[in-house]
Structure formats: structure tokens, C-alpha cells
Structure 1
Amino acid sequence: MNYTVLVVDDEAVVRTRLKGYFEKEGYRVVEACDGEQMWLAFERYHIDLVMLDINLPRVDGLSLTRELRSRSNVGIILVTGRDEAIDKIVGLEMGADDYVTKPFELRELLVRVKNLLWRIRLTQYAVAELADLKKDEDVLRFEDYQLEINARKLLQQDQLIKLTKAEFELLVAFAKQPQKVLSREFLMQESNHRSDDVNDRTIDVLIRRLRNKLSAELFVTIHGEGYLFSAKTE
């Protein structure tokens, strides 16, 4: 994967040096001499990492770091001639990921860039996997049915089955705990529409309706205990 690095420094010599070195290492390098050019670069390119000098004209690098972090999760490495610990601390508090002091070794900076991009990539993968997991948790499948919880839909081979709010909530409770005996008390507690008139009889009526709309064999009566959802849920 070819990453795009944005070098923000008011010294042309520094920009040229960094651009030449990182392009040889396979990176795409974009230059900016101040905050204004930096924002223009963000509008034009997908930026993966910013090397940002603290001492910039008009708007300093620390202020730009704070604004960048409020807008983006882009990697930020502060590059400066200062060697004061307070600048490093403030920079990291503003949202920078790393910090190097001039004069710096190009190979050391390259290692820092690689490590930061690797950490960002791992985070992106983790976020994507979590999103996929949440998406999968939103959809429950059993036999030839698909239960879409957030969309409040039940499909059977792409055919929509209309359920009332109470029926849908009860089906979700069953599908989340398949092949397990659920008491009427538990099913009443799981019903978000619960009110004073929700009782054992209400649950029995709702299950009878579900048996009429779905496969009746899905809902097994366990006498003296409650009901069991017979299907395996994925």
C-alpha cells in the first residue's frame, strides 16, 4: 500500500530533504509551508500522516495539531528545532502521536513513520472488524428466516412477514436464546412494550400468533416451565 505523507515546514530545504528521502522509500510526499497550504493539501489528497513543524508562520504547529486532531484521525509527528520537554508534552496533549527534534536522523524518522502507520492500520482493522461484528449481531438467521433487529424486519426467503411490535419483540427474545427454555416471566420482562395488562395470557396469545405467521414447530411448549425456540440461530 502506498501511503501519502504531508510535510509541513516553512524551510524549503527541510521539505526537499524529506520529500526526496521518503519518495525513495516508496511514499507519496506532499509539501506545505504553512497551515493554509496544509488545509489545501487535505482537500486535494488523502493524507495518511503529517510531519508537522511547530515553528510555522501565522498559525503555529501546536494549534494546527489541536485542530487536525479534532477533525481527523490522521497520524501526526511533530518536527521541531526546540528541545524543551514542555513542547513535547503540550504537543502530545494536543493530539500528536509522536515527536522528533531537529536535527534528526532520516532513518530514525522513517522507523517512526512506519511504526505509526502500522499502529493506525491495526486500529482501522479493529474498528472495521467491530463494525462487521455489530452488523452481524443486528441480523439473526434461522432456518430460511432472517431477522433484522434494527430495521425491525422479518424476512423469509426475501419475503417480508409483517409482525406487530409485540410479536417482533417476542421473536427477538426467542432468537437470541435459541434451544433454551424461557419462562413466561422472562418473556414478559423482555417485552419492551410491557404494561400492566401484560401477563401469562398475553404471552400465550403472542406465541399463538407467531406460530400462525412462522413455522409452528419453532415454538415448543414446555409444560410447567415455558417455551423453547427449537431452531439454531446464526
Structure 2
Amino acid sequence: MSAARVPAPVSVLLVEDDAVIRRAVQLALERYGYRVAVAADGLGGLEAFRAGAHDLLILDVMLPELDGIGLCRRIREESLVPVLMMSARGDALDVVSGLESGADDYVVKPVDTAVLVARIRTLLRRATFRPAQPAAPADSDVPDGVLVFGDLSVDILGMEVRLAGQPVPLTPTELRLLLEFAAVPGAVLDRRRLLREVWDYGWEGDTRVVDLCVLRLRKKIGSGRIETVRGFGYKLVRD
């Protein structure tokens, strides 16, 4: 009888310039079974990212050589890997800039290890998310598992989004957000619900995460596809 296959450990790249924080976070994550690679500045982080296959990146906002915002933008040009930003102050500008650059979520330092691990697990679940496959109507020419909204199509089985026939690269978070809207087209979804369903927040979260992810999604699938309902939330426009 062959031995049971042991899953490979999750690889995390941590880019943090403070040596004490870097070592503390590395040791904490390793105790949870993660394999952790580290870099002390933005350029080193970019080199480490390109040198190895990592399942998730943790980037400090304030980094020498290339700051975390610039690093995240460079990474997003090449990859849709989940990115978690760390901010020392929780300053609104840091948070907004990090999320606009393509990060999926953020934490404020000093961060509790249990909170950090919970955020990591959520991002990793999102990256491997596979929704139920809907059936197309019997008289439809649309293949099973494909949702169509005008020139926008979402292939649930293939996890692929196309706009006017061209593939649209979405991060796992952006794809989950789009699927949440697509499940109830025309229905208004409030930010708290989206935080709960897309970001898996079991507590009060920062709704700026939702607003900025919607903004990024609009840029990719068309600004008029997701409509703001002032005072309530957002909805996917029917065609």
C-alpha cells in the first residue's frame, strides 16, 4: 500500500523591512505550518517573487528601494496571486493606495497572529474557490455553467471571464465579487453583505475594501456594468 500523499505546505512571501517584525511574523507563520520566504526591501521582494512560486504575498506599505504600493503594482502586471498589505498606521491613504494598487486585503500593524492567519486562510480559500455550476435554460444556446450579461460572459466551470469575447484577468477576489453580483443580477447588495460573503468577514470590516474592489472591477468589465445605488450598495445591471 502506498503512503498517503502529504499536501505541500503553503508558500508565503513576506516583504518587510523591519528585521524584528519580519522575524516575528516569519516564526509565527511557520508555527502554523506555512513555508515562509522573506525579503527586506521592495526590489528584493520583486526578485523573490519572480524567483519562486508563492501562494500568497504579504507586503509592508513602507519599504525601501521600492515601496509596497509600487511593488504590488509591479506584481499585478505579472500575476493574480493573493496580496495582503500591512500598514503601520492604518492611515486612510495607505489603505486606499494599497487596495487601488491591486491588493486583496490589508491588516494594520501590530497585527495579532490569529487575525493574520485568519486573513491568510480567507485569501487562500478565495484563490481556490469553485462555485456551484448553474444549469442553462433548456432553450438556451449558452453552454451550461456560463452566465451572460450583454457582452460580458462568466464561465463558472472554466473560471474565465470574457468581455466582448476577450479574456478579462481578474484576481480571485474580483472574480468572487463578480460572481456574488451575477448570482442575483439586478438586486442591490449592500457593502456589509459583500464583506461577509466575499471577504468572509465575521466581524465589522472596512467597507473601503468593497468600494475599491468594485472600482477595480468596473475598470475591467466596464464602468456601467455595476451600478451604485446611493445609500444602499451596488447591483449588476441587467441587459
User: Per-residue deviation at 1:94?
Assistant: 0.9
Off by >6 Å, runs of 4+ in structure 1: 124-128
Structure 1, gaps ≥5 residues long: 133-234
Q: Displacement, 1:82?
A: 2.0
* Contact persistence 2:57–2:84 (CA under 8 A): yes
CA gap of 1:128–1:26, structure 2 versus 1, over 3 A, is farther
| Larger displacement relative to structure 2 (46-55 or 77-86) | 77-86
Which runs of 5 or more structure 2 residues have no equivalent in the other structure? 1-6, 134-154, 161-239
Kindly provide the amino acid, as one letter, of the partner of residue 6 in structure 1.
L
The change in CA–CA distance for 1:69 and 1:11 in structure 2 (over 3 A counts) is same
Matched to 2:33, the amino acid is G
CA shift for structure 1 position 104:
1.1
Q: 2:131–2:156: 8 Å Cα contact kept in structure 1?
A: yes
Tell me the TM-score normalised to structure 1 length. 0.52
Larger-Rg structure: 1
CA deviation vs aligned residue, 1:205-225 (integer Å, no higher than 9, x gap)? xxxxxxxxxxxxxxxxxxxxx
Choose 1-10 or 82-91, whichever is displaced more. 82-91
AA matched with 1:104: V
SS at match of 2:33: coil
In the TM superposition, 1:109-188 aligns within 5 A as: 109-122=116-129, 129-130=157-158
Correspondence list, 1:209-220, <5 A: none
Q: Which residue in the other structure is 2:32 paired with?
A: 25
Is residue 37 from structure 1 mapped to residue 44 from structure 2 by the alignment? yes
Aligned-partner SS, 1:122: coil
Quote how far apart the aligned CAs of 1:70 are: 1.6
RMSD of aligned residue pairs (Cα, Å): 2.3
CA distances 1:67-105 after superposition (whole Å, capped 9, x unpaired): 111210111111121221122112111100011111111
Question: Which residue does the alignment assign to 1:174?
Answer: none
Query: Which of 2-11 and 117-126 deviates more?
Result: 117-126
Aligned with 2:129: secondary structure?
helix
1:93 maps to 100
Amino acid paired to 1:89: V
The separation in 2 between residues aligned to 1:67 and 1:108, in whole angstroms, is 27
Report the alpha carbon displacement of residue 130 of structure 1 after superposing the two structures with TM: 1.3
Q: TM-score, normalised by structure 2?
A: 0.51
Give the superposition deviation at 1:124.
10
